[in-house]
Every structure is written in C-alpha cells, then in structure tokens.
Structure 1
Amino acid sequence: MDWHLIVFEVIDMRSFSNLWFWIALAVMWSSASHWVLGVPFDMVGRARKHGGQSEIDLEDMVRINVNRILFIASEAGSVVLALGFFVVTSLAVLGFYYWVEMAQAVFFLLFPMSIVGLLSVSTAQRIRDEGAQGDALCKRLSRQRVATQIIGMISIFVTSLWGMYQNLSSSFLAM
C-alpha cells in the first residue's frame, strides 16, 4: 500500500467531518481567550483579588508583552500584514471560488484569529499610550478578553453552520 493512501485514510481530508478539525477549533479559541496579550487571564483575577505582588507581576508581564507586540508591529508589521492578507485571501479564493474544503476550514480558523491579532496590537498600543496600571489595566485586559470571546463565539457559530452545510451537501451528493 502506498504511504499517501495511508495518510489520506488516517487524516480525513474532508475537514468539516473530521473530529480533529473541531478539536483544533475548540482548543484554538480556548487558548486565545485564556492568553490575553500573551498573559494568562488567571493573573488578572489574582491581581484584582490580592493586589500587591500579584498586581506588580501582572503589570511587568503585560509591559514585557506589550513592548514585544509593538516592537514586532513596528519592525515587521507591514510585512506581516501583507503576508497575512495574502494568505487569508488565497485561502478565501481557494476555498470559496474553487471549493477546496481544506482551504475553507483553514480560512475559518485564520480569518477570525487575524482579527483578534489586529485587535491585540490595538489594545497593546492603548495600554502603552494610557500607561495603564492597576485596575485600569485589568479592565483593558478584560475588555480584550470579552472581545476575543465574542469573535470566537461568532466564528464557532459560522464555522458550525458552514460545516453542517458542507457535510449535508456532500452526503446528498454521495447518494
């Protein structure tokens, strides 16, 4: 038996009927809502509840990650943005013009996450401009998390609808 036949049997290339795609989608959005600007959100709760050293640790970690995000955005931002647009547009064309289901699935993963990425850069810039600390910093991070969760809920809903449509239409075509 050929190796590529074995790979295609193990990994179902029909993405929306594949359990691994849905697990990856759930893990991606769970991780995105837990790690706000690269900071685990439990640190925000601990800083609000206990203050003191927990708040100092949160401020230090946010400062480090905000500086890192804004450095990358200023140094390579236009290249990353252009490459991101190219990849997302290529996936959209392959997926919805040429009907490549794998491209559709990856598009449904990357497009909303790119919106979260742009929102993260914007939030990082606001934190730096405001010099947010303490409660103001916790509120800004909480708003970022809620926005990420809303984008994630919409993304999961739309992806589910499209996946059900794809699975139903392919099952009718098989008849």
Structure 2
Amino acid sequence: MLCVVALQAQARDIHECIVVPQATIVTDMPAGLDEFEQRLWVANTGQRVRKGTDTLLLLRLFSESPGVIDSQQYIKITGSLKRYAPSSKGTPEVVDARLTSGGAGFAHKGDYWLSDSADVELHQPHRGDSQIEVKVTAVGWNSYRKEDRSFYLQFTCQLKEIPVEKLSAWQGGNDNLWGSFGPAR
C-alpha cells in the first residue's frame, strides 16, 4: 500500500528586537566543554547574556525555506544600549555590537561569520511607538571558509522588553548550546 502525504510548508522569517535590562554579555567560555560544544560556544560569541548592570539590545533574525534541506539561516546581533528608557522620546545609541551569522546546521563545524564591530543604527519613525527601524552594517570573518562577508541589514520590528531569566537559548539565555541557533518551534 502506498500512502502519500502532502504537507504545505511555510517559509519562516523571524525578526526579534529585544531589550534586556539589567544584563551583561557573557564573554568567558565555561570550563569543561568538549570540542563540539566549544565550536558551538564560539559560533555564538557575544550573543549570550546574564544578569548585570547594562541594558542590551538583542536582534535575532531567522529564516528557512520550505522543502529545502539545511536552509535555516540565523543572524544574531547583540549590543549595549545607551540612553534607553521605555518611554523616552530620544532614540538610544547602540555600542559594542557583535554579529554572528551562518547556517543553523553548520555552526558545529565552524562554518559561520563573526564580527566584533557591527554598526547598528536605530530610528523611531513615530515618537512613543515601539516600532523601530534598524540598520546594521558589519563585515564578518569565516575561519572555516577563510573569507569575509559584508552584511547590510535593514528592517523594522517591534521592541519588546524581556528580563534575562525569561530569555530562551535562541534569544541569548543560558540554555543548551544547540538551541542557540534557531527559535523553538
């Protein structure tokens, strides 16, 4: 008996703009990671956060194409926000931003781009609105491919504030390393 099942696949594009108060970027690799875990940690450099004293901006972009194997792509940018206040009329400045990008299924092989100097510009088109326009410019290095890549991103998203303890691994919480490369389904 032959059974054919047709599923309609949907492309997913996710853009998350998260403000995390009372946080800091984790920079020290934990001890005791095996080689596989070390590669995952490095692929996520500058994107994990914990309790601290800064206000951070986490930009998380994820896309995948229906029916295409290994099409999941991620871009993560994390930086510190200066002059941020939820009801402020001014647009905050993003400093010390880092970017990581690659194929979600290949991070463990070392195939990803890293930049420790991403330029992030924020613009609030309507005062008091949580909609924000984001522009990111960076050049990332891929040590696996031995090549660099320019990134220019421009998108609009809704700012949402999430405390450190509520962040998923994808968003920058301290959950499992593999969960860092895509949102939970």
Please report the TM-score for the alignment, with normalisation by the length of structure 2. Answer: 0.25
Higher helix share: 1
Structure (1 or 2) with the larger CA radius of gyration: 1
More strand per residue: 1 or 2? 2
TM-score by length of 1: 0.26
